[in-house]
Amino acid sequence: MIPVLFEIGPFKLHSFGLMMALSFLAATLLAARRFRRMGLDPDRASELGLGAMVGGVLGAKVYFLLDHWSDLVADPIPMIFSGSGLTWYGGLLGGIIGTLAVARWRHVPLLWLCDLAAPLLGLSYAIGRFGCFLNGDDYGRPASVPWAISFPKGTPPTTTPVHPTQLYEVAGGLLIFGLLSRFKDDRLGTGLPFGLYLLMAGGERFLVEFYRTNEPLAAGLTMAQWISLGMMTAGAIFVSRARAARPSPPTG
């Protein structure tokens, strides 16, 4: 667990922030390579990646500030301009919004983009969750398994060995990336890759949540599990309605 990688004067390089940046960078580079292979302008992928990164950082910060509203009201300047205070879910939501904004501006077909992004979402999630592991947050319940880990400098700190659920999700994200990367270009735009992503990502999070410490929301399931059920339902619809022919990809 290494929350801060190094310090130079007042500057601190936080491991979570670095992993978040790397997740966007890796997805952008792989998307650009696929654009180039398909004879499309790789700069379009860079624009989408930039939209995801800007939206992701803003979303991560805004989500954190809203989640710590009382601290923000009490002392706003340090809260707003601190290099720390980034949340993965806020970053994911902001990244999606930023990407969709650029896609609409550049007239990129939405379903085609979702299919292309499906494996990259798995990779980005894995990298981001490794950042959570380095930061010592989002860990699981106390455990006696051989691979249980304690986070004495975590958020919150714990000296009790717990399930390293961040690593479970890293493994899940990498598995999703590996499986969905096998889809050929002519399947983009059918909705099948994105539907399978929703099914697998929702299923992975639903199962891992049983090892997390989140409180149940209803019927013994947590908020994340209800969201996961929604993802899996949407994924099943995408898969069942996947079309045989793909729309034309963006040109230029």
250 domain residue, yes or no: no
Measured at the alpha carbon of residue 187, what is the angle toward residues 183 and 192, in degrees to the nearest 5? 85
Measured at the alpha carbon of residue 9, what is the angle toward residues 6 and 15, in degrees to the nearest 5? 25
136 domain residue, yes or no: yes
247 domain residue, yes or no: no
Q: What is the pTM of this model?
A: 0.84
Phi first, then psi: what are they for 49, rounded to 5°? -65, -40
Instruction: Kindly report each contact of residues 154-160 with a partner whose C-beta sits within 8 Å and lies 24 or more positions away, as own/partner.
Output: 154/1
Please write the tens of the pLDDT for every residue from 154-178.
Answer: 878 899 999 999 999 999 999 999 9
Q: Where are the beta strands (DSSP E) in 127-225?
A: 149-151, 158-162, 216-218, 221-222
221 domain residue, yes or no: yes
Q: Is the pLDDT of residue 245 over 60?
A: no
224 domain residue, yes or no: yes
- Bridge partners of residue 12, in order along the sequence: 7
Q: Two tokens at 13?
A: 């390089």
More confident of the two residues 238 and 61: 238
Q: Is the pLDDT of residue 84 over 60?
A: no
Please write the tens of the pLDDT for every residue from 190-240.
Answer: 889 999 999 999 999 999 999 998 888 899 998 889 989 999 999 999 999
Which residue range forms the structural domain that includes residue 109? 4-240
249 domain residue, yes or no: no
252 domain residue, yes or no: no
- Cβ atoms within 10 Å of 74's Cβ, excluding its own: 10
The CA distances from residue 15 to 3, 22, 23, 136, 187, in Å, are 5, 10, 12, 10, 36
Nearest 10 degrees: CA dihedral of 167, 172, 173, 174? 90
Q: Report the mean per-residue pLDDT for the chain.
A: 86
Q: Left, alpha or beta for 214 (phi > 0: left; psi -120 to 50: alpha)?
A: beta
Please write the tens of the pLDDT for every residue from 144-153.
Answer: 999 999 999 8
Q: Is 132 within 8 Å of 144 (Cβ atoms)?
A: no
Task: Return d(Cα 207, Cα 142) in angstroms, integer.
Answer: 17
Q: Is the pLDDT of residue 36 over 70?
A: yes
R_g over Cα of the chain: 19
- Percent pLDDT > 90 in the chain is 44
What pLDDT does residue 244 have?
A: 56
Mean pLDDT of 100-112: 90
246 domain residue, yes or no: no
What pLDDT does residue 209 have?
A: 92
How many domains would you assign to the chain? Answer: 1
